[in-house]
Amino acid sequence: GNSVTQMEGPVTLSEEAFLTINCTYTATGYPSLFWYVQYPGEGLQLLLKATKADDKGSNKGFEATYRKETTSFHLEKGSVQVSDSAVYFCALSLDNYGQNFVFGPGTRLSVLP
Amino acid sequence: EAGVAQSPRYKIIEKRQSVAFWCNPISGHATLYWYQQILGQGPKLLIQFQNNGVVDDSQLPKDRFSAERLKGVDSTLKIQPAKLEDSAVYLCASSESYNEQFFGPGTRLTVL
């Protein structure tokens, strides 16, 4: 079946530290990959996405590269801020109509001043 | 543009009672999703509509959950009767055909 695995949290960093949140996937087809972010008390927001191998998605200083050979889509940011504290979800979709959309369990990030 | 609207934002009921949630997607979005998010977990898809037809309801507990999307716009998700394990946040999302989903704020359900 299709699934997404993320590193367990919580992840606690100091402001300006480097962030990596690992994400690997298993899929029967050739998925599109996403990172969503959920700030406290809010719904999920799309952070970035990549639709084919070697694509790099980027937004708000976050980046992730679609690595087909390692079935990974790790999220990185060079210098985190307190405002980045949130839960981050890796997800995949197997077709252009969003069917078979599967989320990972989420990784909670806390950034300390 | 207006986002996905959901109501109510919070609901507390006793087990065996019924509850309904409402979702209004972004205008023009043909695809609508309902997810269940249990505390500490990722969202789990319950049902997906394309216009007013069901595309996927394989994970919907059909003995107690039902959903409809009349006229291909608004949608209602109902639980009848509720169980303690239904306590969760129910998220509605909508999308056009490019697989980017836009989420509403969710409804937090507590079943006592």
Give the model confidence (pLDDT) of B35-68 as tens digits.
999 988 889 999 999 888 998 898 899 999 999 9
Would an 8 Å CB–CB cutoff place A107 in contact with chain B? no
For residue B97, pLDDT beyond 80: no
> In the 8-state DSSP scheme, what is residue A77?
E
| Residue at token pair 């509403």 | B104
Q: Give yes or no for a contact between B2 and B102, defined as CB atoms under 8 angstroms apart.
A: no
Work out the pLDDT band at B98, boundaries 50, 70, 90. low
For residue A25, the distance in angstroms to the closest alpha carbon of chain B comes to 14
Residue B70 has a pLDDT of 82
Q: What are phi and psi of B8, to 5 degrees?
A: -75, 175
- Considering only CB atoms, A43 lies closest to which of B33, B97, B106, namely B106
Work out the pLDDT band at B111, boundaries 50, 70, 90. very high
Residue A96 has a pLDDT of 54
- Chain B, 52 to 111: residues with Cβ < 8 Å from chain A are 55-56, 91, 93, 95, 97-106
Distances, alpha carbon A10 to alpha carbons A80, A110, B72, in Å: 15, 7, 40
For residue A112, pLDDT beyond 70: yes
For residue A42, the distance in angstroms to the closest alpha carbon of chain B comes to 5
**Mean pLDDT (chain A, rounded):** 91
Residue B1 has a pLDDT of 63
* C-alpha triplet B100, B110, A46: angle, nearest 5°: 15
For residue A105, pLDDT beyond 60: yes
Residue B71 has a pLDDT of 83
Better pLDDT: A30 or B5: B5
B51 contact partners, CB below 8 Å, separation of at least 6: B30, B69, B72
| Residue at token pair 């890796």 | A90
Residue B84 has a pLDDT of 97
Residue B11 has a pLDDT of 97
Q: What is the CA radius of gyration of chain B?
A: 13
Q: Show the tokens assigned to A42.
A: 């809010």
Pairwise CA distance, residues B78 & B112, whole Å: 17
Residue A42 has a pLDDT of 83
For residue A64, the distance in angstroms to the closest alpha carbon of chain B comes to 16
For residue B13, pLDDT beyond 80: yes
**Model confidence over A3-34: pLDDT tens digits?**
999 988 899 999 999 999 999 999 887 899 99
Contacts with B104 from chain A: Cβ below 8 Å? 43
- N- to C-terminal Cα distance for chain B? 37
**Count of other CB atoms within 10 angstroms of residue A50:** 21
Would an 8 Å CB–CB cutoff place B7 in contact with chain A? no
